[in-house]
Structure 1
Amino acid sequence: MTTETQHDRVGNSRPLDKSWLPWGGAPSSKDLFCWYGIWLVFAYSFAMWPLKPWLIGTNPVLLEAMTGAPSAMTAAGAFARVGEAPLALVMAAGIVGMTKFAWVFWLAGRLWGRNMMRFLTGPEENGRAKRRLGLLTRDTPARRWIIGAAIVLERVPMVPGPLVFASAGWVGMGLPLFLTLNLIGGAVWTGLYAGLGYAIGQPAVDIAETVSQNAVWVSLAVIFGGLLVQMAWGRLRAARRRA
């Protein structure tokens, strides 16, 4: 895994003119492309929430390609078990769904360095943010191995995918290696979730179809649940900052 020099990485962390932007000075075309790309990814992910209940019992293969959601991959594996979808297509769709936007965050780390890491972790006075920055941004052989493993294990709880991908770009991991590790991780996790659905078979299909039959109510519950979680998280973060 090749790395940039410390000087190059510090150069990427340009002094900021505005605290809410990860670059300083006039933005380049790459800055704008990556910045709007990140927000489009977030908007796309949010827009997919209410669609999941509609598609999970009718076309879970399309849903896993669109979202990379574990539930969609599990349902698609179950549909493959009952002959409703080719297993190879289930695998391909899951890999695409998991990996299609990762390169955007790799590019952000490449362009903005530590500024992007701060953007994703929050203020450095936050203890958790400091620990994450310390773990993912020190340019040592051990840290590079940790980042490489984290890319593959991105679906493990408490492994923040965007932060790991950005750190890979910052410490100098080349795009071909990054994409290779990301594809390996996508294949492993798709295989696990789709394999679980394949093992369950018809009962999982029945559950997915029931969810789709009640998609209106499930979608509303997902939307309101997401809003409540976001509000609660915002209040918790505000309380921590005051403490």
Structure 2
Amino acid sequence: MTTETQRDRVGKTRPLDKPWLPWGGAPSKRDLFCWYGIWLVFAYSFAMWPLKPWLIGTNPVLLEALTGTQSAMTIAGAFARVGETSVGLALAAGIFGMMKFCWVFWWAGRLWGGNMVRFLAGSAAGGDAKRPRSLLTRDAPASRWIVGAAVVLAPLPLVPGPIAFVSAGWVGMSLLTFLVLNLIGTAAWTGLFTGLGYAIGRPAVDLAETVSDYAVWASIAIVAGAFLVRAVMRRRGARSRS
């Protein structure tokens, strides 16, 4: 699908029926598959939180593959230092963990373009609400060079990864190019934290094993904290609407 065709599909000439959906008209099978896939990714990320204390000190490589978190990469590197795993496996698991769902957002950009960018940015597509005017959240897509750089830099905390991935699909970037750019940034990020853990070595392993020893209480605290944050956000939302 060319960029022009995408713009025709998601542009102002085809207004959205519902502001909370990134497509207009009746959804196709691809729309529904991608839409539910995105929400499954969010649900999966939430479901992994209670597992982190259990796996961080027992199988950090598996935790890397499941979550792609920096802490898991660091501990996996420390485990490699003490001979519990190999550096290559720690790197591969971290890269896989970070990249495994990125293609879903790229596909969303292919299907819905700027509508999905605005959805992730927190405003209704085509609405009058104020939107963040960053390089990736304007009404028109950013240049391919900017989007490509954003995909490479997506692991950095200040770069909105999902918006960068959606933008890559919006500008018509091929899946192969997207995956190569994503691999470059992910490999560098994984190598940084795996190397940090390898340099720390035994102290990091001991700390992770201590966390796993108290995994039950840590998991309960994580789940309780998540529900508390959600309740506070709902209460604030109710007050703002009243």
In structure 2, the residue matched to 1:189 is: 189
Q: TM-score, normalised by structure 2?
A: 0.89
Would the aligned equivalents of 2:136 and 2:147 in 1 still touch at CA under 8 Å?
A: no
After TM superposition, give the deviation of residue 236 of structure 1 in Å.
5.8
5 Å-filtered alignment, 1:1-243, equals 4-5=3-4, 8-13=6-11, 14-123=14-123, 127=130, 129-132=131-134, 135=137, 138-139=140-141, 141=143, 144-234=144-234
**Partner Cα separation in structure 2 for residue 154 and residue 183 of structure 1:** 11
| Structure 1 stretch displaced more, 33-42 or 155-164 | 155-164
Distance 1:216 1:167, change over 3 A: same
- Deviation of residue 117 (structure 1)? 1.4
| Kept in 1: contact 2:18–2:24 (CA 8 A) | yes
Stretches of structure 1 that go unaligned for 5 or more consecutive residues are: none
Identity of aligned residues (%): 66
In structure 2, stretches of 5+ residues that fail to align are none
Q: Kindly state the Cα deviation for residue 136 of structure 1 after the two structures are TM-superposed.
A: 5.9
Distance 1:158 1:230, change over 3 A: farther
**Residues 135 and 18 of structure 1: CA distance in aligned 2, closer, same or farther (over 3 Å):** closer
Q: 1:205 to 1:108 in 2, by over 3 A?
A: same
Worse overlay, 149-158 or 67-76: 149-158
For 1:8, the aligned partner's letter is: Q
> Higher helix proportion, which one?
1
Paired residues of 2:64 and 2:94 also in contact (CA < 8 A): yes
Task: Quickly say closer, same or farther: Cα 1:136–1:18, change in 2 above 3 A.
Answer: closer
**TM superposition score normalised by structure 1:** 0.88
- Higher mean C-alpha displacement, 149-158 vs 88-97: 149-158
CA distance in 2 between counterparts of 1:162 and 1:8 reads 19
Preserved CA contact (<8 Å) 1:121 1:132: no
Offset at 1:17? 1.7
Q: Quick check: 1:73–1:90 contact (8 Å CA) kept in 2? A: yes
What is the Cα deviation at residue 232 of structure 1?
4.1
What is the total number of aligned residue pairs between the two structures?
237
* Cα-Cα RMSD: 2.4
Greater mean alpha carbon deviation, residues 98-107 or residues 9-18: 9-18
CA 140–207 in structure 1, closer or farther in 2 if over 3 Å, else same:
closer
